[in-house]
């Protein structure tokens, strides 16, 4: 891959301590990988990555992490604390859970569902933790979804961004659910809109969902997208 300005952030989704990937957020359509998280991470370090994205799928659905996932996150953070900045998301619906991930070694935490279910608490956390929070806005056909992608908010993504621009953190991650895990390319049109919005509001949008090859990343780079989450394409070595 040619030198790029865009930051590539590998993703690991954990379920019962195992690395899995879902298709379009469907928990009944998962791929289970035999390799340990550490085996994948060691490969990515050789590629020069500096940040790792971890999703606790158990917590995203149940609101509470499994012991296996918690232990895995702690082990990753401890082993790679001097090599990687780690961001963790999934089921962060109160300050205690957020603080737990910081205590485990996360550099940043990702908040999604809480934004819709308890905006007052979200705002308190935003004012307290600032740049250590990443807001996750997941979209399906232009509408925002939450609760592990299981619930539609009936709110248009761009309307949500306009309405809440004063309380958006420096980084906002946007996942196109229809693209996620499909290896069919990201939503370039959406990311182009988000980049324009971000330039006017000092927000860096993290693209997520659908990356299939190096050409996808190069096109996002040409659109001035700052960062991209890459999951399945890296796990299956379609990008090396």
Show which residues are catalytic: 13, 138
Token look-up 């550490």 returns: 38
SS3 55: strand
Tell me the longest C-alpha to C-alpha distance in the chain: 44
For the residues of 125-156, what is the DSSP string, one character each? HHHHHGGGEEEEEEEETTEEEETTTTEEEEEE
Residues with Cβ within 8 Å of 135's Cβ and at least 6 positions away in sequence, in order, are 110, 111, 112, 115, 168, 169, 171, 172, 173
SS3 185: coil
Structure tokens, 169: 């953190």
């Amino acid at each position: 891959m040619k030198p790029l300005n865009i930051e590539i952030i590998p993703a690991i989704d954990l379920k019962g301590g195992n690395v899995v990937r879902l298709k379009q957020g469907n928990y009944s359509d998962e791929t289970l990988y035999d390799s340990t998280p550490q085996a994948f991470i060691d490969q990515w370090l050789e590629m020069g990555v500096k940040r790792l994205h971890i999703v606790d799928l158990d917590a995203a659905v149940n609101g509470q992490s499994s012991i296996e996932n918690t232990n895995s996150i702690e082990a990753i953070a401890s082993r790679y604390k001097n090599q990687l900045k780690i961001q963790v998301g999934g089921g962060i619906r109160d300050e205690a859970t957020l603080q737990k991930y910081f205590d485990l070694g996360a550099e940043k935490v990702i908040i999604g569902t809480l934004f819709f279910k308890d905006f007052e608490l979200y705002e308190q956390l935003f004012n307290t933790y600032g740049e250590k929070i990443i807001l996750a806005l997941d979209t399906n056909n232009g509408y925002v979804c939450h609760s592990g992608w299981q619930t539609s908010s009936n709110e248009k993504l761009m309307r949500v961004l306009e309405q809440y621009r004063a309380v958006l953190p420096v980084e906002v991650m946007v996942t196109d659910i229809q693209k996620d895990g499909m290896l069919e390319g990201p939503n370039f049109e959406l990311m182009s809109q988000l980049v324009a919005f971000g330039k006017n509001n000092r927000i860096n949008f993290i693209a997520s969902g659908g990356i299939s090859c190096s050409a996808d990343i190069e096109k996002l780079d040409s659109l001035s997208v700052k960062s991209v989450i890459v999951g399945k394409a890296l796990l299956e070595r379609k990008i090396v």
